[in-house]
């Protein structure tokens, strides 16, 4: 089992290096904004992804407040915003500044409730992200993630996998490019039996690139090689408009 896990990580990492150049993160200015509901452990996620980015040579700024979105000095320099804020609220000015940055070409990436269940009353924000969490029937359950765009470098060579976590039922934008999905059994809500919902997607917003994965309820989820690989590939892609 240990050998299998090591081989899997090596295989996935090799594919990533072939398709997405990790050196493209060097000297990128990346802003990580985190907070909101503590159950999603935003600080743990922020620090984990910040450490990975610094190891790749990126210049990382951490903030616990959406007020930073109105800091023109910071926003003029940033290449990518990673947000991990579940629920919460931000002001109209902060929201507009974030939208304008992404519209102008800044990348935006995130996962689970930190990007897909933020600012529930902000419909323009949801329009930018491409989807909104509405429920996770049964709480934490065993479910399968199916890779549906096997030729896309963000998920290439990653096989379908099963995990025990929150299976997000989401309302989604038809404009998204779907990379992975999940299917609901109907065990907890019979009327959704067989319904397929996107798990990983990308979306343009103006000149900006948006990447989202609904995976990542707790820190243990990021120990799953496929989950971590998907989020790090997505971040690399969103920060690098020179990569197709």
To the nearest whole percent, how much of the chain has pLDDT over 90?
89
Instruction: Tell me if 44 is assigned to some domain.
Output: yes
Residues 87/58, Cβ–Cβ less than 8 Å: no
Distance from C-alpha of 81 to C-alpha of 34, rounded to nearest angstrom: 11
For 143-202, the pLDDT digits (tens) are: 999 999 999 999 999 999 999 999 999 999 999 999 999 999 999 999 999 999 999 999
For 51-82, the pLDDT digits (tens) are: 999 999 999 999 999 999 999 999 999 999 99
pTM of the full predicted structure?
0.92
Return the CATH number at 131. Answer: 3.40.50.880
Domain span at residue 141 reads: 2-197+210-238
When divided into structural domains, the chain yields a total of 1
Output the six-digit token pair for 157.
């060579």
User: What's the chain's average pLDDT?
Assistant: 93
Closest listed residue to residue 117, CA positions, set 148, 165, 85: 85
Instruction: Tell me if 205 is assigned to some domain.
Output: no
Query: What region does 92 belong to: left with phi over 0, alpha with psi -120 to 50, or beta?
Result: alpha
Say what angle helices 2-19 and 225-238 make with each other, to 10 degrees.
10
Distances (CA, A) of 181 to 43, 164, 194, 215: 27, 15, 12, 11
For 13-52, the pLDDT digits (tens) are: 444 444 688 789 999 999 999 999 999 999 999 999 999 9
Rg (CA), the chain: 17
Instruction: Tell me if 34 is assigned to some domain.
Output: yes
Instruction: Tell me if 12 is assigned to some domain.
Output: yes
Say what angle helices 225-238 and 42-55 make with each other, to 10 degrees.
70
pLDDT computed for residue 19 by the predictor = 61
Distance from C-alpha of 178 to C-alpha of 170, rounded to nearest angstrom: 13
On the CB side of 101, CA atoms within 13 Å amount to 28
Instruction: Tell me if 243 is assigned to some domain.
Output: no
* Mean pLDDT calculated for residue range 75-101: 98
Instruction: Tell me if 10 is assigned to some domain.
Output: yes
């Amino acid at each position: 089992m240990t050998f299998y896990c090591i081989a899997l990580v090596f295989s996935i990492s090799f594919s990533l290096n072939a398709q997405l150049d990790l050196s493209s993160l060097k000297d990128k200015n990346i802003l990580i904004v985190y907070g909101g509901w503590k159950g999603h452990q935003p600080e743990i996620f922020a620090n984990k992804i910040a450490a990975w980015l610094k190891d790749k040579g990126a210049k990382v700024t951490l903030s616990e407040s959406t007020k930073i979105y109105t800091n023109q000095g910071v926003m003029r320099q940033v290449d990518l915003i990673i947000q991990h804020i579940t629920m919460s609220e931000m002001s109209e000015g902060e929201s507009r500044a974030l939208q304008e940055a992404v519209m102008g070409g800044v990348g935006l990436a995130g996962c689970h409730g930190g990007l897909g269940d933020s600012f529930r009353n902000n419909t323009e924000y949801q329009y930018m992200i491409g989807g909104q969490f509405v429920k996770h029937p049964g709480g934490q359950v065993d479910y399968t993630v199916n890779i549906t765009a096997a030729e896309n470098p963000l998920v290439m060579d990653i096989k379908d996998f099963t995990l025990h976590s929150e299976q997000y039922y989401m309302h989604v934008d038809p404009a998204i490019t779907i990379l992975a999905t999940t299917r609901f059994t109907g065990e907890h809500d019979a009327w959704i039996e067989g319904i397929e919902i996107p798990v990983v997607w990308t979306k343009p917003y103006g000149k900006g690139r948006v990447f989202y994965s609904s995976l990542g309820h707790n820190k243990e989820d990021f120990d799953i090689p496929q989950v971590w690989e998907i989020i790090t590939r997505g971040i690399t892609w969103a920060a690098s408009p020179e990569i197709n």
